[in-house]
Amino acid sequence: MKFFELADALQPAVPGGLPRAPYLRELISMFTNVTEAEWATRNDPSVLPSDATLESMASRDSAFTKKLAKAITARWGIKNFVTVLDELELETQQWITDNIAAYGEQIRLDHFPGDVSRLLVEIVHAKVGTDRGKQQVLSQIAIQAARVRYEKLVLTRSRGCTQCGTPLRVEALGHQADSYEIVFLDADGDEYGPDDFAALCKPCAQKYGLAHTPADVARLREKNQLWSLSDRIDEGLVPLGLDGKIAELLMAIHNLPVEDLAPDVTYDVMPMQDKLADKKLVRRVRDHMSIYETRVRETAKTLQEEGKLDFERMRDDIWGAWRVLADAGLSQDEIWTRLTAWIDQHTNIDDYACGVVVSFLTQICELFKPRRSILA
C-alpha cells in the first residue's frame, strides 16, 4: 500500500471535508510531534511540502518524497495518532477499514488503532529505505494501543492512585474532573494486557515518568494483582448469602462479654503447625482459637438450629473465595488477610470477628486442607 492510498482511506478520520492540501497537512500533523514554537516552521513536517506537492501526493506515490518521509520519522508522534484512531466512532472505524481493504490491506476492526498505525509506519519507513528507529515506534504503538484499549478497565478496578491511594477525580466549586494518567509497567514482548498498566494520580505519574526502578514496577504490579483478585471475588462470589445470615454469627462473636474471653490453656496448636507454613499465621489462628473455638462452634450450632445461620452455605462461600486466592498463588497469610477483609467488606460488623471466623474455618480444616464434615 502506498502513502497516497492510505491517506485516501483515512479521510473519514479528518472532519470538515478539507481540500487535498489542507487535508494532508492536517493528517501529517496527527502523527508527528513538534513543539508549539516549531508550529508552521521548517521543523514541522506538515509544512515542508508546498500546496502543489501535497496536491500531487494525494494521487501519486512519487510525490511523497524520501525527504518528507525522513522528516516524519524524525518527528513521530505516533501515540497521539493511536489515541485519535481509538476515539473514532465505530462506524467511522469500519468505514476506514473497508477503505483500506479496497486497496488490498486487511485491518482487524477489534485492533483498529494499532493495525492502522503499524501500516502507516511500514509505509513511511519503506519510503525512507531503512528500518532504523522503526522497532521503537512499533513498540510505542503496541503500548499505546493496549493503553487505550484497557484504560477503562484499569480505571474501573483502581481504588484511587495505585501508588498513593489519592482519588483519581478532583472536585472544585461543585465540578469534578479526572486527574490521572495510565502508565506503562515495563514489560517485554509486544502483546500487553491490563496488568501491564496502572492508574496513577498526576503527581505520582510525573515522578514515575521521570524515573522508576524495577522495585517500583513490582509494587504496582502487586497492587494490580490484588485489585484484580478483589474484582474476581466480588463479581464471582458475592453476595452468595454472606450479607445475611453470617451477620448473626459475626454479631454473636462481637457481643461476647470480654470477661468471658479467657484463653484455653489446653488448646493444642500442633495441628496448625502441620497445615500452616507461616509462623505468624499459626500464632494468629492459635490466639483466636484458644479463646473462641468452643464459643464459635456452640454459637454456630445454636444459630443453625434456630434457622439463623446456614453454616454449610457460609463454609462453601468462604471456601470458594479461598480457592480463588489460592489458585492465584497468594501466600497463606495474604489469603487469610484477604478473606477477612472480603467478609468484613460485605458485612460491615466487626473485622476482628471476621478474622475469628476465618481462623475457625482454618482450624477445622476447611481452609488450607481438604474439607471434611464438622459441627458434629
Higher pLDDT, 282 or 372: 282
Say which amino acid occupies 150.
Y
- 46 pLDDT band, cuts 50/70/90, is very high
Q: With 80 as the cut, is the pLDDT of residue 358 above it?
A: yes
Higher pLDDT, 281 or 365: 281
Which residues neighbour 93 within 8 Å (Cβ) at sequence distance 6 or greater? 85, 109, 112
- Condensed to tens digits (0 to 9), the pLDDT of residues 164-192 reads 988 888 766 666 678 899 999 998 877 89
Average pLDDT over residues 274-303: 88
Other C-beta atoms within 10 Å of 121: how many?
23
Q: Judging by beta carbons within 10 Å of its beta carbon (0-12, 13-18, 19+), is residue 45 exposed, middle or buried?
A: buried
Point out the least confidently predicted range of 73-87, 225-239, 253-267, 343-357.
225-239
Per-residue model confidence (pLDDT) at position 92: 96
Q: With 50 as the cut, is the pLDDT of residue 62 above it?
A: yes
Per-residue model confidence (pLDDT) at position 241: 54
- 235 pLDDT band, cuts 50/70/90, is low
Q: Residue 132: how many CA atoms within 13 Å on its side-chain side?
A: 8
Alpha-carbon distances, residue 312 vs 18, 254, 321, 370 (angstroms): 69, 21, 14, 15
Q: With 50 as the cut, is the pLDDT of residue 309 above it?
A: yes
Considering only CA atoms, give the Rg of the chain.
30
Say which amino acid occupies 346.
H
Among the listed residues 161, 256, 238, 246, the one whose alpha carbon sits nearest the alpha carbon of residue 199: 161
Q: With 80 as the cut, is the pLDDT of residue 371 above it?
A: no
Per-residue model confidence (pLDDT) at position 233: 62
Say which amino acid occupies 119.
L
Assigned C-alpha cell, 262: 479467657
Average pLDDT over residues 214-227: 90
Assigned C-alpha cell, 235: 463479581
Give the integer Cα–Cα distance in Å for 186 and 178. 24
Instruction: List 176's β-bridge partners, or say none.
Output: 171
> pLDDT averaged over the chain?
87
Percent of the chain exceeding pLDDT 90 equals 53
Give the integer Cα–Cα distance in Å for 167 and 147. 20
Phi, psi of 171 (to 5 degrees): -125, 135
Assigned C-alpha cell, 8: 485516501
Instruction: List 7's β-bridge partners, or say none.
Output: none
181, 205 contact by CB (below 8 A): yes
Give the integer Cα–Cα distance in Å for 274 and 373. 19
Q: With 90 as the cut, is the pLDDT of residue 36 above it?
A: no
Percent of the chain exceeding pLDDT 70 equals 90
Instruction: List 172's β-bridge partners, or say none.
Output: 175
Average pLDDT over residues 287-307: 90
Average pLDDT over residues 233-256: 72
**271 SS3 class:** helix
pTM: 0.67
Give the integer Cα–Cα distance in Å for 218 and 119. 34
**DSSP assignment, residue 225?**
H
Per-residue model confidence (pLDDT) at position 320: 81
Say which amino acid occupies 148.
V
Give the integer Cα–Cα distance in Å for 287 and 269. 9
Sequential DSSP letters for 11-76: GGGSTT---HHHHHHHHHHHSB---GGGTTSTT-GGGSS-HHHHHHHTT-GGGS-HHHHHHHHTTB
Q: Which helix (H) or strand (E) holds 341?
A: helix 332-347
- 263 pLDDT band, cuts 50/70/90, is confident
Q: With 60 as the cut, is the pLDDT of residue 239 above it?
A: no
Point out the least confidently predicted range of 25-34, 138-147, 216-225, 230-239.
230-239
- CA dihedral 272→275→276→281, nearest 10 degrees, is -30
- 370 pLDDT band, cuts 50/70/90, is very low
Which residue matches cell numbers 476465618? Answer: 358
Other C-beta atoms within 10 Å of 80: how many?
15
Max Cα–Cα distance, the chain, nearest Å: 96
Average pLDDT over residues 234-251: 67
- 246 pLDDT band, cuts 50/70/90, is confident
